[in-house]
Amino acid sequence: MGTFCSVIKFENLQELKRLCHWGPIIALGVIAICSTMAMIDSVLWYWPLHTTGGSVNFIMLINWTVMILYNYFNAMFVGPGFVPLGWKPEISQDTMYLQYCKVCQAYKAPRSHHCRKCNRCVMKMDHHCPWINNCCGYQNHASFTLFLLLAPLGCIHAAFIFVMTMYTQLYHRLSFGWNTVKIDMSAARRDPLPIVPFGLAAFATTLFALGLALGTTIAVGMLFIQMKIILRNKTSIESWIEEKAKDRIQYYQLDEVFVFPYDMGSRWRNFKQVFTWSGVPEGDGLEWPVREGCHQYSLTIEQLKQKADKRVRSVRYKVIEDYSGACCPLNKGIKTFFTSPCTEEPRIQLQKGEFILATRGLRYWLYGDKILDDSFIEGVSRIRGWFPRKCVEKCPCDAETDQAPEGEKKNR
């Protein structure tokens, strides 16, 4: 009883609030519908349990469900790991390389960023995912990625069951006329008759579950890009920092090359930092191994440079294509459609000729502020959100009227 009480603490019970959100409600609903219908269809109408194949199939369906839910709840409740409140580096002089978070009253450790949703500084933050109502970061990156792998595989298995159930049950019920195809739902498929006949309600429910399974396979499968992030040991936020670093070097014509410090030069070594046999990622989330020739604070130093430089803090873009603000726009290309950011943050409508200040971005999407007047003055009213990268181009004024003096370029 004492062990049980030590596990269930007040803080852990507070985490259950994460379930009271549209993301987990929808995700768990889809998992419940697909897994339940796959088991019912399999046992009653497609592959009965008294056969060897049916028993193996049923065990596999249960196995998919258990593994998916295990990794899903791990990603949600274990969380990404937060920088301790009031944290500061052991060597006091290292604070000059770090940013200070006023909300957490602590310095931001390398690779950590403050999440407005969680209201904490998150270790190795990649993004805040609405489907788990939590951030994806240091501690739950492996569980989150395994969930993204297992969910499509389980849905593919379930979709196969749904298709085969409808095929076997409707094969002898179809009648073809000159211009019509009819389904006789009163005819039986199996002999002896199943306990529950495959009627219209069962057909409609199976068809609905098939749609959910196929949709989940596509939607969740697209998010498996997380594996690419793990193999490069570079989060989506860090990819944007690297892009702005290269832009800063090019703009000021500096004789330097930015090297991302946390890529160990081997995909296997990067992979082992996240996936371990113990299930606990390497390190403590506050200090990180760096490649040869790099500094522990190389990335944070670059962030400080960008923060001090107003020009690269946010990159100016001019809108060249209209955008309606749709979540997954079909008319902006297949890659833009399938890589839509999985976030609660809004999209913003764009009209040709408007200007945007982009503060971060992905390969095919950018996030920033649309300035409602024609000036780029700090403090003017703005609309903030995501928009497709192909709808904008870097503002030509950066190259024509905003060039830094030669002396300034050399100094920087």
| Residue 396 neighbours by CB under 8 Å, 6+ apart | 318
Per the CB < 8 A criterion, the answer to whether 299 and 262 are in contact is yes
396 — alpha (psi -120 to 50), left (phi > 0) or beta?
alpha
Q: How many residues does the chain have?
A: 412
DSSP H helical ranges for 171-225: 200-222
Residue 327 annotated among the catalytic residues of the structure:
no
Selected catalytic residue, list 101, 129, 155, 391: 129
Question: Quick one: tokens of 374?
Answer: 């024609």
CA 243, CA 236: separation in Å to the nearest integer? Answer: 11
CA 165, CA 327: separation in Å to the nearest integer? Answer: 34
β pairing state of 315-319 and 355-361:
antiparallel
Question: Quick one: tokens of 192?
Answer: 């002896």
Question: Quick one: tokens of 118?
Answer: 């969680």
Per the CB < 8 A criterion, the answer to whether 360 and 314 are in contact is no
CA 180, CA 172: separation in Å to the nearest integer? Answer: 16
Q: Active-site positions? A: 129
